[in-house]
Amino acid sequence: MTDTLIKVDLDTPATENPQVHNRWHPDIPMACWVKPGDDFILETYDWTAGAIANNDDASDVRDVDLSTVHYLSGPVGVEGAAPGDLLVVDLLDIGAKEEAPWGFNGFFSQQNGGGFLTEHFPHAQKSIWDFHGLYTSSRHVPGVHFAGLIHPGLIGCLPSRDLLETWNRREADLIATNPDRVPPLANPPVAATAHMGAMTGDDRDKAAAEGARTVPPREHGGNVDIKDLSRGSKIFFPVYVDGGGLSVGDLHFSQGDGEITFCGAIEMAGGWVHMKVELIKGGMAKYGIKNPIFKPSPITPNYKDYLIFEGISVDETGHQHYLDVNVAYRQACLNAIEYLKKFGYSGAQAYSILGVAPVQGHISGVVDIPNSCATLWIPSEIFDFDIHPGSDGPMKHIDGRVDVPIAYD
């Protein structure tokens, strides 16, 4: 039996667990140590550590304090790991805690986090997804069920002091360009809600004031929200501190490319990761590595029949942007939502599907001035009915009796 090196109790606040942290800082002490070649299990909270409940009321999504996220399990020290190495991590398996076979997806209020289509969906909404073994479905989004592409939204090693300073400086510079923006351009350190693992006292306070927020992906990986870092994949992480300091959390049962709904994927209420670590000494220089690289899993949902939507970088008001993939992908998403509505879905249900199902977002053309082109791929097999276009026009398979709960600001 494999050792579980970090356990979490979903009924106990994450802030009481010294093997959990919610900031990046090189001084956070290792929560446990392993040797190269070891495999072990870490349990995890959901990214909010219990702030979102399994019910039909979206007010918890509306009111969430985003300065508290993400609660990560770790850091795990690896004996012999030194700056410049590559830490090779095999995600041997990932699952839900037995007592928590469910997850949530939501859209944040435009006033508190927003999302990729927040102008169209400005209020907090939430759907609950139940896990049935390898599959999931939602009482709030009928007519769709699919196999999970389980992965950590967030995984990476501790930054060095230099790297941390680089992060804080460049993000502060960005914030300074428009400091009063709502939502902000980036999130600076917030000491009050920082949970620095086993740190206490002045050390904790100093580190909490400096600790980088976990929201953005950065050089070390971090919150990359790449759905393809799924169980069975192998990741090569840059090491910046002695011991590496690998932390993981924010498990997703499934997610579409982009995690467009922001809150987020299907956020697993509680889970565990079984992983194995090895080292490539000096691997960063040997291979010219700046960001993590990885090999995908051989065991991912094998969907093949897609319906693909195009978007170009002319926005929904008709305004022409210059080679902007964000705009193009937004248009592809809006096009797909419009299409799904013809089958009876509400816009919010369609938006949820794009956020949680294993949809692909491809960068399809980035040089044909002035329009970028992006494509959104929806696997047709996830629907209980046929979504292909035909000469008879779409049938309203979804009767509108249920919708995604909403909480107005």
Which of positions 43-62 make contact with its own copies (CB under 8 A)? none
Return the range that interacts with its own copies (CB under 8 A); candidates 8-16, 55-63, 170-178, 398-406.
170-178
Q: Decide if residue 281 touches its own copies (CB under 8 A).
A: yes
Q: Decide if residue 400 touches its own copies (CB under 8 A).
A: no
Q: Which of 262, 249, 308, 329 is nearest to 50 (CA)?
A: 249
Q: Decide if residue 298 touches its own copies (CB under 8 A).
A: yes
Of the pair 133, 201, the CB lying nearest its own copies is at 133
Q: Which of residues 78-107 bind its own copies (CB under 8 A)?
A: 86, 88, 90-93, 98-99, 101
Please state, as a whole number, how many other Cβ atoms lie within 10 Å of the Cβ of residue 122: 16
Number of residues that bind its own copies (CB under 8 A): 126
Q: What is the DSSP string of 49-70?
A: SS-S-SSS-THHHHH--GGGPP
CB of 78 to its own copies, least distance (A): 15
Q: Decide if residue 258 touches its own copies (CB under 8 A).
A: yes
Distance of CA 209 to the CA centre of its chain: 25
Q: Which of residues 316-375 bind its own copies (CB under 8 A)?
A: 318-320, 322-326, 329, 331-332, 335, 338-339, 341-342, 360-375
Q: Which of residues 114-143 bind its own copies (CB under 8 A)?
A: 115-116, 132-135
Q: Decide if residue 163 touches its own copies (CB under 8 A).
A: no
Half-sphere exposure of residue 64: CA atoms within 13 angstroms, side-chain side: 31
> Cα separations (Å) of 333 from 37, 226, 309, 360, 384?
43, 18, 8, 11, 21
Burial group, residue 291, by CB count within 10 angstroms (0-12, 13-18, 19+): middle
Q: Which of residues 236-255 bind its own copies (CB under 8 A)?
A: 236
Which residue among 121, 303, 345, 383 contacts its own copies (CB under 8 A)? Answer: 303
Rounded CA separation 229/155 (Å): 9
Of the pair 199, 336, the CB lying nearest its own copies is at 336
Pairing of the two strands 4-6 and 39-45 = parallel
Q: Decide if residue 395 touches its own copies (CB under 8 A).
A: no
Rounded CA separation 145/138 (Å): 8
